Amino acid sequence: AARADGVTGYDARTGARRWRHEPDRGAAVCSVSRTAADGVVLIAQGVPDLPGGAEGGEGCTTVTALDLRHGRELWRTTRVAATDEIQDERDLVAVGGGLAVVRDEDPDRPYSWVGERPGSVRPDRALRALDLRTGKPRWTARVPKGCVPYRAAAAERQVLALLVCDRDDIRLAAFDPADGKHRWTTELDERRRVQPIANASEFLSADPVVVRVDSLDESGSDSFLSFSADGRPQGRIASGGANEDFEGDRPAVAKVAYGRLYLIGSVFQDTVSAFDLRSGRRLWRARLGSGEDALGLGIAEGRVTVPVDLYGSSAEDGLVVLDADTGDERDLRTFPDSVASSAGDLQDVLPGPDGRLILARREGYDRPFTAYEER
């Protein structure tokens, strides 16, 4: 579990705390890699401004590699932050293919960064990779001219980045994991510019490549764009009324697995859909029962596991299990208690040891994980 005040490791079988890693004195955690690889996760930390608005902050300036088995720090490196603010940063660091990938510019203002300052880096070389286990520098990428890294991702066969080019257009680029050589760059949307502020974008998956983009149409909701390994646009899962799956004011709950995008949708979060990533075509849609709203989404072993809020019951919630290929209902159970206070509180739904189900809750809960077993 990662929060601003530290990272904690728990035993998946017992829930006992195994280790605790806290940021340096006065610092806060500002980013964590989306995934772990080879038992290593990356965290970034920095010193915020003092209470009351007093200056003294340094921004998100330190990246640390943690061994997940013992919580031991393997190595650390510094990074360049374009602002002294500390906030939750997405895709600032990434792991994959034996690499730790670091983006050296803050994503808030990459398109307005001007001039040289002490400690600054050239915008076209602000993406670099280090050895995941040792921290030894491996390469610095030559980002296309006029572009600055905005988000980073890593997979076994390539390193990816969302770039802000010409100050206000987000593009997708790929680099060779062996030497950082630029492979290709493609438009996110061939019809229009995708802008950093109006269309906040992030990686949902690095392999296959799927990018979540906000407000690509008048609905103001999420869209999901899929790309082939060589950067060709594939499926486009449109937002808003086209699929009737993205209504509401919170980010859509979505996961990628088996070449598909699985999505909780509708204004009451009462449907689950699967879309083909190559074509963007809906494969199936399952509507939950009356009075059931989806709270989270788990994909494993050919099943889609959906904790649901049971209206009219304050003491328990439900669990619906769907076939990942067809959407057919395979199981329906109840939890002995309420698993979340409202939709959006669950961070993730994870398979646990011995057939257990682990629910991960968002920051703010005293107990971030709860494991359940079949009864």
Residue bearing the bigger pLDDT, 338 or 114: 338
pLDDT band at residue 309, thresholds of 50, 70 and 90? confident
pLDDT higher than threshold 90 for residue 208: yes
Which of 262, 334, 254 has the alpha carbon at shortest distance from 291?
Answer: 334
Which of 102, 182, 111, 93 has the alpha carbon at shortest distance from 144?
Answer: 182
Tell me the mean pLDDT in the region 56-84. Answer: 87
Predicted local confidence at residue 113, as pLDDT = 40
pLDDT higher than threshold 50 for residue 149: yes
Candidate ranges 23-32, 148-157, 211-220, 235-244; pick with highest mean pLDDT: 148-157
Tell me the mean pLDDT in the region 155-184. Answer: 94
DSSP string, 88-121: --SSSEEEETTEEEEE-S-TTSTTS--S--TT--
- Looking at the domain that runs over 1-207, which CATH code has it been given? 2.40.128.630
Predicted local confidence at residue 156, as pLDDT = 94
Tell me the mean pLDDT in the region 110-125. Answer: 55
- Are 86 and 47 in contact, with CB atoms under 8 Å apart? yes
pLDDT higher than threshold 90 for residue 228: yes
Tens-place pLDDT, residues 120-129:
677 778 999 9
Predicted local confidence at residue 345, as pLDDT = 76
Intra-chain end-to-end CA distance of the chain, in Å: 27
Average pLDDT, the chain: 85
Domain ranges of the chain: 1-207
- Tokens for 239? 């937002």
pLDDT higher than threshold 50 for residue 115: no
Lowest-confidence pick of 35-49, 99-113, 260-274, 278-292? 99-113
Sort residue 270 into left (φ over 0), alpha (ψ -120 to 50) or beta.
alpha
Other Cβ atoms less than 10 A from the Cβ of 131: the count is: 14
CA distances from 112 to 115, 143, 148, 177, 196 (A): 10, 17, 10, 29, 11
Predicted local confidence at residue 109, as pLDDT = 45
DSSP string, 193-211: ---TTTT-EEEEEETTEEE
pTM for the model stands at: 0.89
